[in-house]
Amino acid sequence: MRNEIGEQLPSIRQSPCRIDDSCDESPDREHGSYEVGVGGMTGNVAVVGGSSAGLLTAHLLARKGLRVQVLEVADELDPAPRSLIVTSRMRDLLGPLCDQAVVNEIRRFELFTDGRKATVELERPDLVVERSVLNRVLAQQAQSSGAQIVPGRRFQGLEPTGSALTINVERDRGGTLEEVSAKVVIGADGAFSRVAIAAGWPRQPTVPLVQAVVQLPKDMAPDTSRVWFVPEETPYFYWLIPDSPTRGVLGLIGESGATVRQYLDRFLERRGLNPIEFQSAQIPVYKRWTPVHRRVGDGHVYLVGDAGGQVKVTTVGGIVTGFRGALGVVEAILSGGRSRHLRVLRRELDLHLLIRRVLHQFSQSDYSLVVDLLNASARKALGLYTRDEVARLLWHLCRSQPRLLLLAIRGIFSRRAR
């Protein structure tokens, strides 16, 4: 079966532009989708930011014959190392490209809460990837498709100029300003996107992520990840993900940068683990769908990945959803109209938001009840359907264990009562 990146994307259609400012916020009622296409587009595309979603966007557009530049602030496209866990969906999307960045495969999860434990065997393994390797692989692919990667360019602003946009960049951190002209600008510059701010999007909220590289406990298999639910310390969870036969990363997502490192240090001490090094990041929190397109003069600005808040808020994971956002933006640009990928992605991210709102109300006893309710059928559903197909997962979970649905409904009403 062909991966999605290998599928035939629509060619550029010579049709008039179908976008106006109002369609950024309002769905098309007849089709239930968004008018985000450029339509008959000519001219350069500038991707600001060498993120994984930005590099994939550059590759797909360049492969279709568009002139694409990637403007990256770093002097070399070599982001800080960070181990990430993704579902098998990434392999479906990237095909063989994915495997170059995979450092481990996870075949089971162990869930812990208040002395209880549940084990979930995965039908298809999760993938542990090294972010820096993934970006290098995607950069090579983008260049082989004809995209030009220009390092040492710090985005300063943009303004309409005739039928295009002029991007102002600082060159080599020396204060020398440069101008780049493009018909389309794609913001792929992360959670604190300068492109988004310059084009009029509001700044999005973020949460801190901190993880420590540790030696794996002697009783832990390298193909197993562990998750602990401790709601009095974080409404999310702690995780321990092996990225080699002997080492892994233990971390958490918090809501306050002032306390997240303290909680991690205490948890490491309780588990008897010594940190070798630390990794950290600020991750966008999905609060509502961010429209991916705005018009600036006669030019067009799009957002992909973290810049557009395309993150599953249940787990605050954004690699796969960022890739799907990239596919959607490319589809919209090339077709000059609606994007099925973006429509499906929005529904899924909204469903993750609903789940997160419920989980944010859970107490320790609620998580204990969840673990107790995970019968054989429910564990099978968790192993068969990934968190990147959450609607199917929820349906089969509720069929397997209806009391989980009742617990979720109680969580919804508990939130409304506050």
One-letter identity of residue 231: P
C-alpha–C-alpha distance, residues 293 and 37, integer Å: 9
**Which among 12, 30, 28 has a CA at the least distance from the CA of 20?**
28
Residue 39 pLDDT more than 60? no
Model pLDDT, residue 1: 41
Kindly state the average pLDDT of the residues 210-220.
96
Model pLDDT, residue 289: 96
C-alpha–C-alpha distance, residues 234 and 229, integer Å: 8
Quickly state the pLDDT bin for 411 (edges 50, 70, 90).
low
- Alpha helices by DSSP H, listed for 153-256, are 194-199
C-alpha–C-alpha distance, residues 22 and 380, integer Å: 45
Instruction: Tell me the per-residue pLDDT of 328-357, one tens digit each, with 9 for 90 and over.
Output: 999 999 987 679 999 999 999 999 999 999
Residue 47 pLDDT more than 60? yes
**Residue 95: DSSP 8-state:** T
Instruction: Tell me the per-residue pLDDT of 259-309, one tens digit each, with 9 for 90 and over.
Output: 999 999 999 999 999 999 999 999 999 999 999 999 999 999 999 999 999
Quickly state the pLDDT bin for 24 (edges 50, 70, 90).
very low
Residue 30 pLDDT more than 90? no
Model pLDDT, residue 337: 64
Model pLDDT, residue 16: 28
Least confident of 41-50, 56-65, 369-378: 41-50
Quickly state the pLDDT bin for 42 (edges 50, 70, 90).
very low
Residue 53 pLDDT more than 80? yes
C-alpha–C-alpha distance, residues 57 and 297, integer Å: 23
Residues contacting residue 247 through CB under 8 Å, at least 6 positions apart: 213, 214, 215, 216, 276
Residue 9 pLDDT more than 60? no
- Domains of the chain (ranges; CATH) run 4-78+132-204+286-354 (3.50.50.60), 206-284 (3.30.9.10), 358-416 (no CATH)
**pTM score of the predicted model:** 0.87
Rounded to the nearest angstrom, the gap between the alpha carbon of residue 19 and the centroid of all alpha carbons in its chain is: 26
Kindly state the average pLDDT of the residues 92-98.
91
Model pLDDT, residue 2: 45
C-alpha–C-alpha distance, residues 248 and 3, integer Å: 29
pLDDT mean across residues, the chain: 87
Could you tell me the CA-to-CA distances from 266 to 55, 217, 253, 275, 282 in Å, in that order? 38, 17, 14, 12, 21
Quickly state the pLDDT bin for 4 (edges 50, 70, 90).
low
Please give the residue that has the higher pLDDT: either 14 or 360. Answer: 360
Instruction: Tell me the per-residue pLDDT of 108-153, one tens digit each, with 9 for 90 and over.
Output: 999 999 999 999 999 999 999 999 999 999 999 999 999 999 999 9
Model pLDDT, residue 15: 30
